[in-house]
Structure 1
């Protein structure tokens, strides 16, 4: 069912299989979703590390000034 001589295929090499065509159709969505997940994960990790570092610096500053440690709150 591929392209006969003189016809142009929709894809280079012709996609005759339903599953190959389905893969080519869903592949961009999977790649963009993976990229989005990776970017979001990197942002969340950077925020977590930044908060941890600010807490460490704050604790050092409070200790240097002789203040008691800051109260920690836990949200439920």
Structure 2
């Protein structure tokens, strides 16, 4: 019976490792996308604020 559980553990290990690797990759992709979108939104808001101030000064 000991051999059965050891074989079962060795059978499941690659699946668990690949699952964790996949999860880490997807997590990092989603985090980087979220960070990029936040940065882009902040830069866009700054540019809009600059244009708004410039328009106000010209009128």
Structure 2-normalised TM-score? 0.83
Q: Output one character per residue of 1:26-53: Cα deviation in whole Å (capped at 9) or x when no partner.
A: 1000000100000000000000000000
1:55 pairs with 2:57: no
Q: After the TM superposition, which segments of 4 or more aligned residues of structure 1 sit over 2 Å from their partners?
A: none
1:43 pairs with 2:29: yes
- What runs of 5+ residues in structure 2 fail to find an aligned partner? 54-59
CA RMSD, 1 decimal: 1.3
| Higher fraction of helix | 2
Q: What's the counterpart of residue 57 of structure 2?
A: none
Q: Which has the greater radius of gyration?
A: 1
Q: Distance in 1 between matches of 2:8 and 2:29?
A: 32
- What runs of 5+ residues in structure 1 fail to find an aligned partner? 1-15, 68-76
Q: Which has the higher contact order (CA 8 A, sep 6+)?
A: 1
